[in-house]
A and B are shown apart, each in its own frame.
Chain A
Amino acid sequence: MIWIETIVNGVLYGGLYGLLGVGLALIVGVMRVVNLSHGEFIVLSAFIGVSLAHVLPGVHPLVLLAPVAVIAFALGFGLQAVLVNRVVTRPDPFASILLTFGVAVVMRNLMVEIFGADPRNLPAGRLAHASTTIAGLQVGVLPILILVVSIALFTLLQLLIMRTRFGRIVRATADNRDVVRLMGVNPGRVYNVVMGLALALASVAGMLLAIRSSFTPYSGVERLLVSFEVVVLGGLGTFWGAMIGGIALGVAELVGLRFDPNSGPLYAHLLFLVVVLMRPNGLFGARS
């Protein structure tokens, strides 16, 4: 029974990992940019959430998800418009890597200077520990909520990209940024919105993760690694692949922790290596 419970919790937790990674998958898929500051933005949104919760003491942290996501969208839009768009057309893959790496280092250390290096978390009152019994299984309310939010956001993203006019423009830009210019699309503007969306999604994940476990300004590196693993496991550019990848990592981590208590993310990493070595393009990537 305890194993089933662990696996269920892993699935619920993994939805969050998927959410961390899907923003990165979106950016890689649309503009082929590897954003090394993804983790720092996740942590920054958690800090913004904590600060907002401090200013507005009566408001439940889940309500704060919306304003934080809006702020993250604006930050992403600005990051892309001011910095990344200047290097995105360069054929040299190092340009965007080093640029976002610089942004990450600056952000991480500014956060240390501003917020201090102590571990924080986002207090969610009773919700953090509330649990319910479903079919004889003890399941936390928060993890269920997290999975519901993740699936809702994944569905919305899928609809946005596949069914709307904007989504069509994004896909066209991803296919060929030079040809869409002939149709009157400004690829730079599309990229701005995509980066904003990616970071808004990441900020929701960052907030939810901050309720579940504590974070410091240095947590960005771990978050980035998880996001990368999710993207690579799922196969570059597939959203549901990212979700499945996240769930696989979540289950591996929690099951691993169950029979080997001080293993940390060891088993998630091992699963990642095994899967990627067997299928170098990820679970859902095209075989080349």
Chain B
Amino acid sequence: MRRALGLYAVAFYAFLHLPLVVLAVFSFNASRFTLWEGFSLRWYQAAWRDPQLAEATLNSLIIAFTATALSTVIGTLCAYGLWKRGAPALSGSLYLSLVTPEIVTGVSLLAFYQWVFRYLHFELGLHTVILAHVAFSLAYVVIVVLARLRTLDATLEEAAMDLGATEWGAFGRVTLPALAPGIAAAALLAFTISFDDYVITSMVAGVDSETLPMVIYAMARRGANPVVNAISALIVLGLGGLVLVSERLRAR
């Protein structure tokens, strides 16, 4: 039974990881086709020279950095506010935002933006994408930070205040430093899901705000293209690294 379980585990992990490994291996293939013809970096060079990819990557980075900064600050404050006493209505809407299918979040934001644009003179663009990303990543930040807060001793703050610290002082100099790894883990997670999002982004992006996942999606639909393998390998490496760090921070 033990042996069987071990063998199964090998197959299971192969199923989880091999598709990504194979994808990465073939990004170094000299041939355009799926037969191995030797090592080459030509697809990476092609990806590097593609101006559309460069612009989309820049957009994705701008969106992910801005949205992460906003949702990390807002989410951390929110988690702190929920720590000692719950707010069922707010928690409820955060839960709801987690279980709402992405496509529904996307179309409802689209409908909402169109409705607002009737009264205000705005258009879809990077800003609408950033706002959408803040909204859908907020719940993740709150969960991660709150999990960390729950491991802290709430009486430490009271002790600080007994010793003369103000509320702000106790928060800023006692709780916040202890919370830092949790906040960093939350930020990395928020960055990852923002950088990777296609479904919601594609609904609320304007003509000038194409993101990297949108370009990959379009290329993947058009047909086999080893350039996509190259970008995919880079994304897996980059985001995988972020997630690894995030997991480590959370385990601390």
* A, B co-complexed: no
